[in-house]
Structure 1
Amino acid sequence: MPHHAFCALFTALVLPVLKYCSTIWSPHQIDLQKRLESVQRKASKTALHIMDRTTKLPYEERLQTLRWSRLDGRRLFSRRVLLYKFLHSDCPIPEGYLRRSRRDPLRLEQRLASTTSASYSLFIQAPELWNSLPVGARRAQSVGEFKDLVWYRDV
C-alpha cells in the first residue's frame, strides 16, 4: 500500500479514536500517554515501510517526514483552543469554572484541586495553559487567528 494511502487511512480512521475526548480527559498517567503514542509510533513505521530493525529513523524525524505531530502536542493545542472558545463565549460553561484575574483580565486565577486526579482536570490546569500563552494569542479576535498563533508553539 502506498504511504500516502496509509496516511489517509490512519488520519481518517485511527487518529480520531486516539484523540476522542482527549481535550477533556487528557491522560495524565505516563503509561497511558506512552500507550497512545505507541500506536502512532507503529503507524509511522508502517507508513514509511520500516519493518526491519536495521533501519534506524528516530520517531521525531518520522513525524516530520509524514507531517504528523505528537499526540501530546495535539492534546495541548486542542485544550488551548477549547479554552479560547470558553473564554470568548463560543462554548458556554457554568459560572465560576474559570475566573479571570482582577488585575489583568487576560489572565486566569489559579484554582486548587481537592484530589490528585482532579488536579489534572482541564479547569484546574486551565490557568497554567492559558497564562503561558503570549498576550497576542490571548487577544486574538477569532478562533482561526488564535489557532495560527498557537499551533507552532505547541506542535
Structure 2
Amino acid sequence: MLKLNSGKTDFLIVASPRYRHLISGIVLTIGGTVIEPSTSIRSLGVEIDANLKLNRHVSSLSSSLHFHLSNIARIRPFLDQSACEHAVRALVSSRIDYANSLLCGTSALNVKRLQRAQNRAAKLVFRAKKYDHVTPFLQQLHWLPVEKRITYKILTITYKCLNNSAPNYLRKLLRKHQTARPGLRSSNDPALLAVPRTNTCTGDKSFSSAAPRLWNNLPQNVRTSSSLSQFQKSLKTFLFNT
C-alpha cells in the first residue's frame, strides 16, 4: 500500500564507460510519469554517481565542511580551546567520518580535499597561522589523517564481522584464509582472511576485497585483540606509527 511520488523518484544506472553505450535509452514509467536516469542520487546523505567515483559526494562534503569551519571561525574569539574542539568534532569530524568507508580507493585528489578541511579544523582549534605545519596539531588532538580514518573504519567493521557483532550481509563477505601447504607462515595464523581475486578497480575497492587486504597487513597482536575497545586502541596506535 505504498504510494510512490513520481516527482521524488530517481533511479541510477551504474556501469563502466566501456559498457555504458549498451544500456542507453532506459527509462521508467511510474503512475504515467516517465522518469529518466539521473547522473547521481543521494542515499542516506551520500551522493552516488553513475561511475561510483563519489567525486560529487566529496565536493558537496568539502563545501559543507568549510561552511561550518567558517561559522566556527567567526565565534572562535569567544571560545576557549576545549569548546572549539568540541564544536569542530561535532560539526566537522563527524561529517568526515560519516560513511567514510565508501571512500576506500578513492582518488588522491578527493582525499586531499577532505584533508585540507581537517587541517584547517586543527589549526582553528589551536588558533594557528595559515602556513604553520599542521602535523603537530593533529598529533596533539590525536586525530588520524583522513586516509587512515578510512582504513580505521573499514578495519573496525572487519573486527565486528569476525566477532559476530556486524550485520549478516557483511559477515558473509569475509572468509578465513585456508592454505593447502602446511608449514607456511600463513598456515600458523588463524586470524588471516582470504583475499578474493578481482579483475577491476571497482572490485578492488569493494569491502569483500579491501577489508581482507587491510586486515592481513595488521600485526597479529592487533588482529587478536580480546575486545573491540582494545582493538580500536591498538589499531589507532598502529596507524599513528605507520
TM-score clears 0.5: yes
What are the within-5 Å matches in structure 2 for residues 1-155 of structure 1?
1=76, 2-26=80-104, 28-51=106-129, 56-94=131-169, 96-103=172-179, 104=187, 105-155=190-240
CA distance in 1, matches of 2:140, 2:226: 33
If asked which structure has higher relative contact order (CA below 8 Å, sep 6+), I would say 1
Cα 1:29/1:96, change in 2 over 3 Å: same
Q: Deviations over 1:59-97 (max 9, x none)?
A: 211212333331222221221111010111111334751
Residue equivalent to 2:60: none
User: CA RMSD, aligned part only?
Assistant: 2.0
- Structure with greater proportional strand content: 2
Instruction: State the one-letter code of the partner of 1:45.
Output: K
Question: Match of 1:3, as an amino acid?
Answer: Q
CA deviation map 1:103-127 (0-9, x unaligned):
4431111112232122112221122
Contact 2:177 2:193 in 1 (8 A): yes
Contact 2:176/2:191 (<8 A) preserved: yes
Letter in 2 for 1:12: A
Equivalent position SS for 1:117: helix
TM-score, normalised to structure 2, is 0.57
Q: How many angstroms does 1:27 deviate by?
A: 5.2
* In 2, Cα distance between equivalents of 1:16 and 1:44: 14
Structure 1 runs of 4+ aligned residues shifted over 6 Å read: none
Q: Which amino acid is the alignment partner of residue 101 of structure 1? A: H
Q: Across the two proteins, how many residue pairs are aligned to each other?
A: 152
**Higher Cα Rg: structure 1 or 2?**
2
Structure 2: state its 5+ residue gaps.
1-75, 180-186
**How does the TM-score come out when normalised to structure 1?**
0.85
User: How much identity, in percent, do the aligned residues show?
Assistant: 24
